[in-house]
Amino acid sequence: MGQEESRSEEMDLAQIQDLCLVFMKDCPSGALHLHEFKRIFGVPSSSSSEESLYVETVFHSFDTNKDNTLDFLEYVAALHLVLRGNLEDRLKWSFKMYDKDGNGKLDRDEVKRLIRILHKIKVQTADLNMTPTQICDRIFELVDQNNDGQISLSEFMEGAQKDQWVLDMLKLDVDATGWVVQNCRKFP
């Protein structure tokens, strides 16, 4: 079993080395800028302002040192979360994305802001007839357990994990799988 774990770690290390080579090829300065990030996540320059704003919000959530670029460690952390993150980690990241003011609670304006953006970007197959305000109201109805008009991280996590509709509405997904697969195939 120890050897099996070791091989798994080696494979992960090899993947990281491959990603580093791709990163340095695409970003010789060692920094990934917003326009490059948009390209990676398939957002064309002609995209809607909502889509662009959403990707900018995602980018800034991964820019932990707030220098308006992603270094290799921030880049790997972002890809790991997007490609391999477990549900709990993805929900915590989603909460952070919603929590614009960083106070650890979501108010209706914060939730409605992101729901509006997502509503314009994605076609929500389950509730096409609901407006962003109605979606926000329903989320608060189902998730705000103490009815204080704010959603804490624990309410967010619990609500998303016990109701599939809430999970679909609250969990933010970005899809870079195609880009990663395509670029990692460049290496033997």
Domain boundaries, the chain: 2-86+175-184, 87-170
pLDDT band at 105 (very low <50, low <70, confident <90, very high): very high
**26-42 pLDDT, tens digit each:** 888 889 999 888 877 66
pLDDT of residue 122: 59
CA distance 68 to 96: 18
The fold of 2-86+175-184 is: Recoverin; domain 1 (1.10.238)
Q: Which of 59-63, 68-72, 178-182 holds the top average pLDDT?
A: 68-72
pLDDT band at 121 (very low <50, low <70, confident <90, very high): low
The domain covering 87-170 belongs, at the CATH homologous superfamily level, to EF-hand (1.10.238.10)
**136-152 pLDDT, tens digit each:** 999 999 999 999 999 99
Q: Which of 59, 61, 58, 72 is nearest to 29 (CA)?
A: 72
Q: Say whether pLDDT at 57 is over 70.
A: yes
Average pLDDT, rounded, for the chain = 78
Taking the model in full, what pTM does it have?
0.70
CA distance 150 to 105: 6
CA distance 138 to 123: 18
pLDDT band at 174 (very low <50, low <70, confident <90, very high): low
- Give the residue, 21 or 155, on which the prediction is more confident: 155
Do 87-170 and 2-86+175-184 fall under one CATH topology? yes
pLDDT of residue 159: 92
- The whole-number average pLDDT for the span 116-127 is 61
- Give the residue, 158 or 131, on which the prediction is more confident: 158
pLDDT of residue 48: 67
pLDDT of residue 70: 93
